[in-house]
Amino acid sequence: MTAALLDDFRAGVRDWCREHVPGDWRRAQTGVPDEEFAAFQKGWFQELRRAGYAVPHWPAEWGGGMSVPEQAVLHEELAAHDAPRLVLAFVSIHHAASTLLAAGTDAQRRRHLPAILDGEIWCQGFSEPDAGSDLAALRTSARRKGDAYIVNGQKCWASGAAHADWCLLLARTDPDAPKRRGISYFLMDMRTPGVDVRPTRQATGESHFCEIFLDDVAVPAANRIGPEHEGWRVAQETLGAERGMTMLELAERLGGGFRRLVGLCGETGALDDPVTRDRLAALETELTGLRALCAKLVAGERPGPADASIVKLFYSELLQRVTDFGTEIAGLSAHTDLRKPLSSGWESGAWPLDFVASWEWTIPGGTSEIQRTIIGERGLGLPREPGEGR
């Protein structure tokens, strides 16, 4: 795409944003019940869908088809116009879609991708209570019985599971195999008997995370993605999406959070302090670096084996630094109104809550320690870390 065409595309997105981004959504989404948040999210998704902006990273045949530069411009303009984020559909349009496109059957893609566009919500059932940061140490079992698998176990930290229609599920189908080789990957209907979802109240006051208890849940064999016992390989597609294309949007949203931080420094007079200005300059430099890394990652035809981990690690720790500084500048008064606008990101401007929530990003998709291990082993070629079953 030429620069002139990209400028035309940007102008079109700007016009659309001016007309369609609800001006009062932050006030309207602060302190609302879960049901109201979900209804707003689904309505906003359909608004973006009608404009062709909901799934720009999908292939054209499924409703996407934007080039990487167009996607970058779209996310930049949505962030610049402070548009609500697609928080509720995050797993659906990224993790679920990328997994289906990479490893699903034609029937699975035809069943689920249009449904996601119509508003089907997904969650992810990977983490387990006793596995820590070692995702492959899962104990949830799936035993083949006729045309179905009978699943028993428990999942935790499942984002948005209370609203989910379907779940990306990892379960152990061969208890005697090395731990990464006896896992299978399933698509599980959350309305199946035996599925019990319990929201987890977090330090921020939200209940975004959930536990999922599975008691003799029958998952049709046709809902398995990839060969039996080879779910670990499929899971890498999901994790790659979590650490990859999502970062293009998140980096731009962090830029919006940084602009709110600069505004706060101006309102409080902190900009008069040269030390504050130096710290802001350092953060802006890091943010510029993050955006460059993201652009390189998503534009690369053959990204390096550790590139996604580098971006994910850098983003999650920069998010902590930005929200930490915001909490410091906002002062004690910011701690008296612990509410944030739902449908915003991890840099909503409710700085104490943003700082607490920022720590969650150093955990999902592999903790920072896991990312460093991947960078060391796959990126730098260091010797593999010893461990049972690796």
For residue 369, give every residue at least 6 positions away whose Cβ sits within 8 Å of its Cβ, in sequence order, or none.
133
Structural tokens at position 175: 């208890």
For residue 334, give every residue at least 6 positions away whose Cβ sits within 8 Å of its Cβ, in sequence order, or none.
327, 350, 351, 352
Q: Where are the beta strands (DSSP E) in 207-279?
A: 210-220, 224-225
Residues marked active site are found at 242
* 173, 184 contact by CB (below 8 A): yes
Structural tokens at position 102: 């990479």
> Distance between CA 310 and CA 372 in Å, rounded?
8
Under DSSP, is residue 273 helix (H, G, I), strand (E, B) or coil? coil
* 141, 215 contact by CB (below 8 A): no
> Distance between CA 260 and CA 263 in Å, rounded?
5
Tell me whether residue 354 is exposed, middle or buried, using C-beta atoms within 10 angstroms of its C-beta: 0 to 12, 13 to 18, 19 or more: buried
* 126, 155 contact by CB (below 8 A): yes
| Residue 217, strand partner residues | 151
